[in-house]
Amino acid sequence: MQNCTIFFLLALTFYISYIILSYYYSDAHTDWLEAGQDDIDIQSVNIQGNKSEIFESWNSCFTVEMMGIEDPEIFWKTFVVSSKKCDYQAGVRQLGIVTLKHKNKTKRVLFPKVFNTGPHNLFTIGVGRDIRAEKQFRRKMHKLGNNVTFVGADPVPHNGDLYSQIGNYFPLAIGGKSGISNARVLENSGYIDTDKIHIDVVYFFKDLLNVTNIDNLWFDAEGEEFANDFFDIFYENGKFVQSGIDLCQVNIEIHITSDVAHRKEEFMKFLKRIIQEKRFGVFFGDAFGHIRMYMFNYSSQYCLDKF
């Protein structure tokens, strides 16, 4: 009888510990922990600064700060400083951009300013075995009455199990051009170099997914993806414009790998053209070994009306 009681108590203890532990590691617990921040972030939809004024002011500031620099190395180093300065001068915080953060992953988003605006999509290119920021975004959007369709792509297949929790997953590397090349990917053991099949970014969105609007694009590529004129998709009369793809918000990380000088040159060319064409705002420039930034398409009425 006594043995029975002890056994019962032990079993009960294990059971309760199991319940507590599984709750501790569950999304429900994380959602509960982050609920306070949600309340703050959701208020951002009420921040309605004058978009064209802020964008104009940002663009003038960046023109003065960056267009005169000719050396790619200096350009790369100056970018973060100038970005912080111009964000401040132009009053970019009056746009209501929210920061989602988990570990090393930082993403900026604008929520739709209108309640229940209809379909909304987010594309994660380069999942990197972490979807916490995506889950934060999904939860906050739910609270605002919006459902988000998620699509993820990453050449490392074990991202699939993870990403399938929130959306559709493709085991692919996305780049400026289709082909086989060397990609640096994050495996369990750390970064490794391996041959990867790249799919042309336009083919991916237009032919494979038949997408015409991209609300959020989160692009975290490790290297080669930026070769082959990848940045063309952001340009006036570039491949996205020609394909009728309307891109609103972009979080992009630009890594430096072995081809360092080359990458910094490309970055300078890219950013100068973005400033000159005056269609995208580039905010929250940040360096974490690599450069990351947030971009918004100010030439799109769809994007301006929605966010």
Residues that bind ligand NAG (CB under 6 A): 50, 52-53, 104, 116, 147, 210, 212, 233-234, 240-241, 245-247, 297, 299-300, 302
- Cα gap 190→60, rounded to integer Å: 42
Cβ 224 to ligand NAG, closest distance in Å? 18
**Which residue's entry shows tokens 């905010």?**
283
**Cα–Cα distance list, 147 to 20, 98, 112, 154, 240 (Å):** 30, 18, 11, 23, 25
**Which residue's entry shows tokens 């975290």?**
220
Asked whether 101 and 133 are in contact (CB, 8 A), the reply is yes
- Cα gap 124→251, rounded to integer Å: 10
Closest CA to 37 of 96, 100, 93: 100
Cβ 79 to ligand NAG, closest distance in Å? 19
Cβ 123 to ligand NAG, closest distance in Å? 12
Q: For residues 78 and 273, which CB has a smaller minimum distance to ligand NAG in the complex?
A: 273
Cβ 256 to ligand NAG, closest distance in Å? 13
Q: For residues 69 and 226, which CB has a smaller minimum distance to ligand NAG in the complex?
A: 226
Q: For residues 13 and 212, which CB has a smaller minimum distance to ligand NAG in the complex?
A: 212
Asked whether 128 and 186 are in contact (CB, 8 A), the reply is yes
| Beta-carbon count within 10 A of 175 CB | 26
- Cα gap 126→172, rounded to integer Å: 9
Q: For residues 69 and 270, which CB has a smaller minimum distance to ligand NAG in the complex?
A: 270
Cβ 282 to ligand NAG, closest distance in Å? 13
Q: For residues 116 and 188, which CB has a smaller minimum distance to ligand NAG in the complex?
A: 116
